Amino acid sequence: MKISDVSKKYDLSMDTLRYYERIGLIPAVKRDQNGFRDYREEDCKWIEFIMCMRSAGIPIETLIEYVGLFQLGDKTAQARKSILTDQREKIKEKIDELQAVLSKLDYKISIYDDQLIKIEKSLALHSEKGNEI
């Protein structure tokens, strides 16, 4: 698949794809006979992995380290697992923080809901007594 096709498929600029390759975030993409990048399914899986990890907030430096270890083979499996485990814990902590924020927002919203119900009841009482609103 050509870089333009990959760019469209993943909504990433061609410059971003080249950058990811240049810094080692994705392994080097094979070239066709004309020297153009020819993305294979395995390359696309790396892009999907990187996009997923970046959307989770994992730093580029950490991903570069992970990819570098991956390229060294099975002897780095424990180190790679450790990186993923550390990142999972950081994401879990962030989720917990966001859950606490969400709970506070829900509480604040409920206060407004309670106030609106009181206002609506008050308006309904005025309307029943013949008062215009």
Higher pLDDT, 1 or 132: 1
- Give the mean pLDDT of 120-124: 80
> Architecture of 1-71 per CATH?
Orthogonal Bundle (1.10)
User: Has residue 133 got a pLDDT over 70?
Assistant: no
Contact 36/3 with Cβ under 8 angstroms?
Answer: yes
pLDDT for the residue numbered 132: 56
Segments in the chain forming alpha helices (H): 3-10, 14-22, 41-55, 60-71, 77-128
pLDDT band at 115 (very low <50, low <70, confident <90, very high): confident
Nearest to 66 by CA among 50, 88, 47: 50
pTM: 0.73
Strand partners, 31: 37
Nearest to 69 by CA among 57, 82, 58: 82
